[in-house]
Amino acid sequence: MKDTFKHKGMRNQLAQVVAGKGITNSNVLEGIRNIPRHLFMDSSFEAHAYQDKAFPIGADQTISQPFTVAFQTQLLELTKGAKILEIGTGSGYQTAMLLELGAKVYSIERQKELFKRTSLFLPKLGYRPKRLIFGDGYKGLPEEAPFDGIVVTAGAPFVPKPLLAQLKIGGKLVIPVGDKSQIMTLFVRTSEKEFTKKEFGEFRFVPMLENKN
């Protein structure tokens, strides 16, 4: 599969759709325009790649809706060189977005099949995270902490304490919290023991499972 002018035109349209839904960060919109989303999906879904929808990618997982990826990334308020932990590498689409914005990305995936596929696939497109890890996202990555930001790309029934503990002061955790549907939630660490919390409405994610890999 190639990346053509037609694909680029479709990405420009997708960026307009996402902007129309409230994404204002110009770097995030540029990421939508740059990332060849059709390459992250099975070729049979290629016609749907630039719709603002989630699609299955195998292992009971999905590639997130572009708006959701943009929304979570915008909440992180990334600066270039920010150290970011991603929980749920999945297809690597969110990983690519973080890298487009100049973040240093550490990403954890609990599905072996997806971990292997994405580890090989991302470098082929020129996306090079600092580390891709096969493991349990509930535990975070204490040996690389603290992080400027942590983004969780699966629905968490509760907020894992290790993730809050691994934030820098001023660091942000963006996490969809809930069972059947989730409330997008932003935690900001304001001191060693204090966090602020803001909620941003309902989203739907595949569940974040613990100790399953």
Distance CA 53, CA 65 (A): 5
64 flagged as catalytic: yes
**Distance from the Cα of residue 62 to its chain's centroid:** 12
Of the candidates 26, 43, 44, 64, the residue annotated as catalytic is 64
Which among 112, 99, 28 has a CA at the least distance from the CA of 66? 28
Bridge partner residues of 147 (DSSP): 167
Q: Which residues contact 211 (CB under 8 A, 6 or more apart)?
A: 136, 138
Can you give the length of the chain in residues? 213
Which residues are designated catalytic?
Answer: 64
